[in-house]
Structure 1
Amino acid sequence: MVTTLKSSIANPQRLPAPDGIALAIEQFGSGVPGVVFAHGFGQTRAAWTSCATACAAAGWANLTYDARGHGESDWLESGEYAVDQLSADLRCVCAFAGAPPVVVGASMGGLVGIAMAGSDAESCRALILVDITPRWEPAGVERILEFMRAHPFGFGSLEEAAAAIATYLPHRGARKSPERLRKLLIQSADGRLRWHWDPRMLEPIAEDGARHQADLLEAATRIRVPTLLISGAASDVVSEATINEFLELVPHARHAIVPQATHMVAGDENDQFTRHVLDFLASLEKI
């Protein structure tokens, strides 16, 4: 049963995953959801709000959700997270949508999208990958991991958190507002502000993801649904080599580049990113 959750982020529903973990999901638009958005590691469903709102306005009802260990979805008491759990959660949300949806997955969300689409052709109608390929650039991923490991004791204020993000993303002009930052942080019992994800999952998921790379490359060869890869021109996580390899593995896939964007494509250039998503969705209506 899906019940309503009181929330500081929005007003999500609670969807039980196969192992009983509750996932926080949010619907944009009315009717059967035609799109499911899966965020990257360390993000929450709030990363998709602008694009999800635009898709709903274009007639594509959609769902966003917090991955387990993130945002308002349950965190595992054991702390024993694995990539297979994340894949099962995506399947669960897609099944809840009521019909095979278009899956939009960024980074971690894209990897579980590749795994799902490659193992079950009926699980989704189409796939949009956001700056991720089955083989990634280790240096770019390590840069992200270094930032995520950098503040184990959290922050003393929103201003301190904003400064850390500005240092990590110097190409963005304005710092995040307090309102946007509050969606990324939770206040611990000691009063410190910490990221809205379980820090215990960082190393297990990073290691597990690396072990799954060969499986992801194999899964890509079995993707049969319409596929779009959107990459950031300034990304250090994907490269010309990894993109070309993916396009060889999935020869029917399209590729769109967002100028000026880094790995954080939707956050860097949301208008351009959303335009690519809407154009691809419009092309599906003709199929």
Structure 2
Amino acid sequence: MRTIEADPEPVTFIGAEGNRLEADRYGSVGHPVLMLHGGGQTRYSWDAAAGRIAGLGHVVYSLDQRGHGKSDWVPSGHYGFADFAADLIAVARQIEQREGAKPVLVGASLGGLAGLLAEGDIAPGLLSALVLVDVTPRMDQQGVSKILGFMAERVEEGFASVEEAAEAIARYIPDRKRPKDLSGLSKNLRPQPDGRYRWHWDPAFIKTKPEAHSKKANDVQDRLLKAAGRLELPVLLVRGQKSELVSRQYADEFLALVPHAGFVDIEDAGHMVAGDKNDVFADAIERFLTSLFAGA
């Protein structure tokens, strides 16, 4: 197995509202794999893993979801789980047309929920396999509130520098070793004309999240649980043992709903599994994909 180290090819997709969605394409031949980041992240969170997966002989697409990174901020302000799922459906169909096969989805948090809704509820048969990265239909609401609180804290004010943003993250996740190279973090920030740095996502994403702030949360959770029970494709759940969102109880509940699913519990990793333990995470994805396409 080798890692694809060449610069990825930029690719543009069109989302459910005619919105522009920017992606990177790694590799040139093989089965397509689509990687969707979590809320508040960008496609660059997958840089290391995407090159490694492409090295297995897959074509990997790493996508900026609506309102994130270099993709369009939608004027409608529609940033519910179903809206991200609708974009996924549009992109997966475009990938299938381009590559001649349905993609495997690797979705972290928000990206995983989009995949769960798309495949288990809205468009069954859309994907060839589904990898959920530290996300299940039921999640710890204290953990959700903590994450959303951190995201909302500096959404307007921003930061004076990339270093100040790194300090804020270090206070939020004190157990994670602070990187010496902040170039990765800088890709998640937008330098503004006033000299401040703000997160690389639409503030409306955090301000208008109905799932997190209203009685609709239970309805959404029920919909996700029902979607999980309908999954028939190959599924892998990857959890960080120190996850703030997915307890072992919630993981077990998901595995009872999807008894054919595989499960990997990564030691010393929190919700940001790929960032905390990228090599172990990539190993898990590699084993799943290798078994999936053995003899293909």
Count of aligned residue pairs for this structure pair: 279
TM-score (normalizing by structure 2): 0.90
Q: 1:149 to 1:10 in 2, by over 3 A?
A: farther
User: What is aligned with 1:104?
Assistant: 106
1:196-230 per-residue CA deviation (whole Å, 9 max, x = no partner) reads 00111113235278241110100001000011100
CA distance in 2 between counterparts of 1:276 and 1:42 reads: 24
- How much does 1:25 deviate? 1.2
| 2:174 aligned residue (156, 161, 170) | 170
User: What is aligned with 1:149?
Assistant: 152
1:245-267 per-residue CA deviation (whole Å, 9 max, x = no partner) reads 10111011111011000000000
Amino acid at match of 1:217: L
User: What is aligned with 1:128?
Assistant: 131
CA distance in 2 between counterparts of 1:201 and 1:53 reads: 29
CA distance in 2 between counterparts of 1:32 and 1:16 reads: 23
User: What is aligned with 1:42?
Assistant: 40
Amino acid at match of 2:22: A
Which segment is superposed worse, 105-114 or 95-104? Answer: 95-104
Percent identity of equivalent pairs: 43
Contact 2:92 2:102 in 1 (8 A): yes
| 1:182 aligned residue (182, 186, 189) | 186
TM-score (normalizing by structure 1): 0.92
CA distance in 2 between counterparts of 1:160 and 1:274 reads: 30
1:39-73 per-residue CA deviation (whole Å, 9 max, x = no partner) reads 10000000111111001111111111000000000
Matched, 1:137 2:140: yes
- How much does 1:175 deviate? 3.0
Contact 2:36 2:108 in 1 (8 A): yes
CA distance in 2 between counterparts of 1:179 and 1:105 reads: 23
User: What is aligned with 1:159?
Assistant: 163
CA distance in 2 between counterparts of 1:271 and 1:206 reads: 35
Q: Specify the SS of the correspondent of 2:237.
A: strand
Amino acid at match of 2:246: V
Q: Specify the SS of the correspondent of 1:18.
A: coil
Q: Map 1:18-37 onto structure 2 (within 5 A).
A: 18-31=16-29, 33-37=31-35
Contact 1:36 1:93 in 2 (8 A): no
Amino acid at match of 1:248: A
Contact 1:91 1:123 in 2 (8 A): yes
1:164-183 per-residue CA deviation (whole Å, 9 max, x = no partner) reads 11111212223362311220
Which segment is superposed worse, 80-89 or 135-144? Answer: 80-89
Amino acid at match of 2:113: L
- How much does 1:11 deviate? 5.9
- How much does 1:231 deviate? 0.2
Amino acid at match of 1:83: F
The gaps in structure 2 that reach 5 residues or longer are: 1-6
1:88-120 per-residue CA deviation (whole Å, 9 max, x = no partner) reads 111122112222111101000111111112133
Q: Map 1:194-209 onto structure 2 (within 5 A).
A: 194-205=198-209, 207=211
Q: Specify the SS of the correspondent of 2:209.
A: helix
CA distance in 2 between counterparts of 1:138 and 1:80 reads: 22
- Aligned residues: CA RMSD: 1.8
Amino acid at match of 2:196: R
- How much does 1:10 deviate? 7.3
CA distance in 1 between counterparts of 2:81 and 2:52 reads: 30
CA distance in 2 between counterparts of 1:286 and 1:180 reads: 34
CA distance in 2 between counterparts of 1:11 and 1:280 reads: 25
User: What is aligned with 2:66?
Assistant: 68
- How much does 1:143 deviate? 1.2
| 1:249 aligned residue (257, 269, 283) | 257
- How much does 1:236 deviate? 1.7
Contact 1:110 1:129 in 2 (8 A): yes
